[in-house]
Amino acid sequence: MELMSGNEAIAQGAWEAGAHIGVAYPGTPSTETLEAFAKKDGVYAEWCVNEKVAVEVGVGASAAGARVLSTMKHVGVNVAADPLFTAAYTGVGGGLVVLAADDPGMYSSQNEQDSHHYARAAHIPMLDPADSAEALRFTREAYELSERFDVPVFIRSTVRVSHTKTPVEPGPRAQAALKPYEKNAAKWVMMPAFAKPRRRDQLARVEALRAWAETCPYNEVVRRGDAVGVVCAGAVYQHVVEALPDASVFKLGCTWPLPAEALRAFAASVEALYVVEEASEYLTESVRALGIEAAPFAHPLPADGELTPGLVRAAFGLAEPPHAPTPEGLPGRPPALCPGCPHRLVFKELTRLKAIVTGDIGCYTLGALPPLSAMDTCVDMGASVSMAHGFELALAGTEHRPVVAVIGDSTFAHSGLSSLISTVYNRGGGTVCVLDNRTTAMTGRQGNPFNGETLQKRPSRELDLEGVVRALGVEDVRTVDPHDARAVRAALKDATGTDELSVLVFRAPCVLLDRTRKPAFLVTGACTACGVCPTLGCPAIAKDAGTGCASIDPGLCIGCGQCAQYCAFNAIEQPEGGSHE
């Protein structure tokens, strides 16, 4: 018996099933799954530039006969939808399992979507584990299900399942031989002449899946009484059984397709049937579509965010369970860029420039928060470059503030390149800032094409970011030290002062890559309380409420010297023996 997170258990289940190829783009809450898989014996794992590419690599490996694991967060499913919908037509060679890790509550995401809708729309079966033991079992057995029905299989998790550790019984690895590949254009070439009969094959497969779902071993009825019956799935099941100990529960382990007859029989066995789910109406709508009446709650469930046992009890008009009150007067802890972050001065100077800043997905999104308040938009991966072009088109012929796109190196490889190609093709202008901190920092410092580090530390090729951009036809390409305030200011002023398209590469490693600390800076008596240094938003800098003078926390300061460059009174110094390079 071992404690494993849901992510680790999914990796273990894939390994036990004999999967030996893993592909993904990192994204919380899915990231640790492929990292755990990559450490297993006898496997190959790689970070791809985006989720679409990952699934396409996976479909190719599956067609060649291998069992494959592809992992992504819920918004990654949007990116991968194109190949996924067609893979539901082609089917598989070796089993193909796709993790869709949802994030109800949006702890690290820009939206709150339910991947169940993708399973229904694409006609791909979806399994919904409620804990790590089920995550391991469902994933392990999903490969045989995939090959039996000739279809990819979704494993859906949420942040609670992905990151909570519960007991599992790991088992041995099955020897899954590579299935021999045979040329079969009617299966793998999805031109209309072949896709039409594959569509009919898919419809027959769906009927077979619906029949299988009626006796699916992953659906379970927990019988406790006849008064109240609850239909739920995944992590919500844990909240329901805690909140409603006397209710009978139909726990769905397979959430598409639903077992219609089994659900009807369960509904007939209880006086009132309720559907409990978080941040979605997928299950409720699906149950009602089967002609089953879902009773209304005494108080509606919240339409957004994660559920808790207390929220479930409140929906049924029951008292909250006893709990300690939340302490009062706790200070807020808003997220902030780390001390010494190489992005900070870029955002500071963009604020001084009064630029319109179209942002992107990454830890640099924190540049939108006070006191920097430098970012105007953030929508999805790669949108910064495309939206900047849109701003330029809309504001053409008017006097307007500079328009600047800000994107990280990994996100630039993910989808920023295609956006930049479109801007170049259409002779767009503006300024694109690539914040190259030599890693994919937000999700845990994974490798990407522009730092050349692979998941399993294999020999690789570090792509020349500036060279790639120049090859696209951008003439004004510059590399800037983001820790040098004057250099950052000058580069931004020059780039935004022209109508031509400029790309500035601000390159310096994330401070978490090298944790070597220089002596901390300190504020001397020469401080005039001008208030400039706190506007950098560095967690190490505080401001005395009474005097207005600044102070630096030596436990947080890493000695980067960014603040000293903004002190017009030379009141920020590094002790003897330290220097800012």
Q: What residues are designated binding site for [4Fe-4S] cluster?
A: 527, 530, 533, 538, 557, 560, 563, 567
Phi, psi angle pair for 278, to nearest 5°: -115, 135
DSSP reduced 3-state for 205: helix
DSSP reduced 3-state for 565: helix
Strands 44-47 and 550-552: unpaired
DSSP letter string over 355-379?
Answer: -EEE--SSGGGGGGSTTT----B--
Q: Which residues contact 484 (CB under 8 A, 6 or more apart)?
A: 345, 565
Closest residue by Cα to residue 27 from 434, 450, 414, 460? 414
Quote the CA–CA distance of 140 and 176 in Å, as a whole number: 12
Quote the CA–CA distance of 115 and 131 in Å, as a whole number: 18
Q: Which residues contact 205 (CB under 8 A, 6 or more apart)?
A: 91, 123, 149, 150, 151
Given strand 254-256, what is the order of strands in its sheet?
44-47, 21-24, 68-73, 96-102, 153-158, 126-127, 254-256
Contact 483, 508 (CB under 8 A): yes
Q: Containing H/E element for 53?
A: helix 51-63
Report the binding-site residues.
Answer: 527, 530, 533, 538, 557, 560, 563, 567
Q: Quick count: other Cβ atoms within 10 Å of Cβ 476?
A: 15
Strands 356-358 and 403-408: parallel
Which single residue is written with the structure tokens 């406790």?
224
For the stretch 150-189, what's the b/e string if a residue is b when 16 or more beta carbons lie within 10 angstroms of its beta carbon?
bbbbbbbbbbbbbbbebebeeeebeebeebeeeeeeebbe
Contact 424, 474 (CB under 8 A): yes
Contact 305, 105 (CB under 8 A): yes
Which single residue is written with the structure tokens 């409603």?
244
